[in-house]
A and B are shown apart, each in its own frame.
Chain A
């Protein structure tokens, strides 16, 4: 049997295949950026030609102008408020969610008792609790953080609990043959086994927390991107609304990517089962 794959010189078929592959990757990238550019140009063009009412839909050049006038600290301040609130809600929600999941994993009894409540709480739109949260936590940052926490908490609990329960039974049995206690089994087997579950849950939660924060800012705030959007809408400054929405999209993507980055730092070893 002859094998040519190990030779340093590439066969012409292989070279062609690699070239083809590279070309495809480049084409996809080109089309992605091209589409964005086209969208912006069409939007701007339609607004200038009067095909679209720029009062309602705004237009790229005016959005850009808004950025320039707000760049003197104002915009950054609002972004910072939203990001801080999101991170606070996200971290608190994740910590509380994991802790509750541990309690429920530990005690099947508590878990069975709380099951119907969790199901109901999970399907309830948490934003409906807005007024209650405002009364409880006060109309301010605390209510907003609380909203972000509430929105990600139950999902975290359910996802982590199901991960804990799906932990490899063989590995736990093996630990028990060494006389492992329940606490040891949790620390040495269940928890490390569920690091991927944790990150899956965090990736969903960072987005959910942002939803909670924006909803909270709609209701009570005096700062943040949610506030800018509502304010812009009320005074009919669609440039401001659009500018804030675009910034929000960028912020959401960056937050998600930072979770992905942390996962990579934590190590590939925990990446899969």
Chain B
């Protein structure tokens, strides 16, 4: 059974100037453990789609179901990863990682152990009592991911999670995050404007059109690799083919001539 079902979602915005349609008839589903990327021209409503799935925004029409339950209001099944790590400087890394559990009133000994275990597995236990400013950009993003995973979400949403990082750190962090997500077998949906990133992390890439955004294509991605990793994907022969395909679908050339 699909863990996530997005069914005929439509979203409109009302302002005094008029009505804007952001999303139109968005339908797709994900199985447990899938990693999907979403690409689309900027301002097409990618982040809006994530907000709807997370339940922080209710769609004008259509519905979202997670593990068989219709999403109405902020969903506890969702973990979110944002562009900034947003670690709180007055808390230690361990206290930061426990913040999500604290806010959800789930600070049980078992959940604490789980969080500590995650810190340990992903090489941050030595920094548990450090403060965020003492960590490198890559480690900070890893700590932010562990904070999200600590609440044990069914679906992880990544909203341009790497775009604030410099290029080199970005490659390292994607590598890191990809490995962790696969190892923890989390279902992940990532919004990005970076085409290479969408290809080398996703099992499939959902290509959205310009506003009002519809799904142009859901492109399955397959690399002939024994162990897949974002960096290895970049040097695969299939990569260039996927890239030019998505580039054409996005119609970037049309956007430029406008």
- Which positions in A face B, CB cutoff 8 Å? 168, 170-171, 173-180, 184, 188-189, 192-193, 195, 269-270, 273
Contact = CB atoms under 8 A, between A and B. Distances in A.
Contact of A170 (B82, B89, B131): B82
Interface class of chain A by DSSP = helix
Contacts of B82: 170, 173-174, 177
Contacts of B103: 175, 178-180, 184, 188
B102 to A, nearest CB: 7
Interface of B: 54, 56, 74, 76, 78-80, 82-84, 86, 88-90, 99-100, 102-104, 131, 151
4 nearest A-B residue pairs (beta carbon) = A177-B80, A174-B86, A178-B103, A178-B100
Nearest to B84: A170
Given A173-B86, A178-B99, 6 more contacts: A177-B80, A178-B80, A192-B90, A193-B88, A269-B90, A269-B131
A188 B89 contact: no
Q: Which one of A174, A184, A188 has the greatest number of beta carbons of chain B within 10 Å? A: A174
A9 to B, nearest CB: 30
Contacts of A269: 89-90, 131
A179 B88 contact: no
Q: Which of A168, A179, A192 has the most CB of B within 10 A?
A: A179
Given A170-B84, A188-B99, A177 B54 contact: yes
A168 B88 CA distance: 10
Nearest to B106: A178
A189 B91 CA distance: 11
Contacts of A173: 82, 86
A176 B89 CA distance: 18
25 contacts: A170-B82, A170-B83, A170-B86, A171-B86, A173-B82, A173-B86, A174-B82, A174-B84, A174-B86, A176-B56, A177-B54, A177-B80, A177-B82, A178-B99, A178-B100, A178-B104, A179-B74, A179-B76, A179-B103, A179-B104, A184-B103, A192-B90, A269-B89, A269-B131, A270-B90
A171 B54 CA distance: 17
A168 B54 CA distance: 22
Contacts of A171: 86, 88
A176 B88 CA distance: 14
Contacts of B88: 171, 189, 192-193
A192 B90 CA distance: 8
Contacts of A273: 89
A177 B161 CA distance: 14
A31 to B, nearest CB: 38
A178 B86 CA distance: 13
A173 B56 CA distance: 11
Nearest to A272: B89
A175 B80 CA distance: 10
The winner among B88, B104, B131 for most chain A CB atoms within 10 A is B88
Contacts of B83: 170
Nearest to B56: A176
Contacts of B151: 178
Contacts of A180: 103
Nearest to A179: B74
A175 B82 CA distance: 11
A195 B86 CA distance: 18
A164 to B, nearest CB: 16
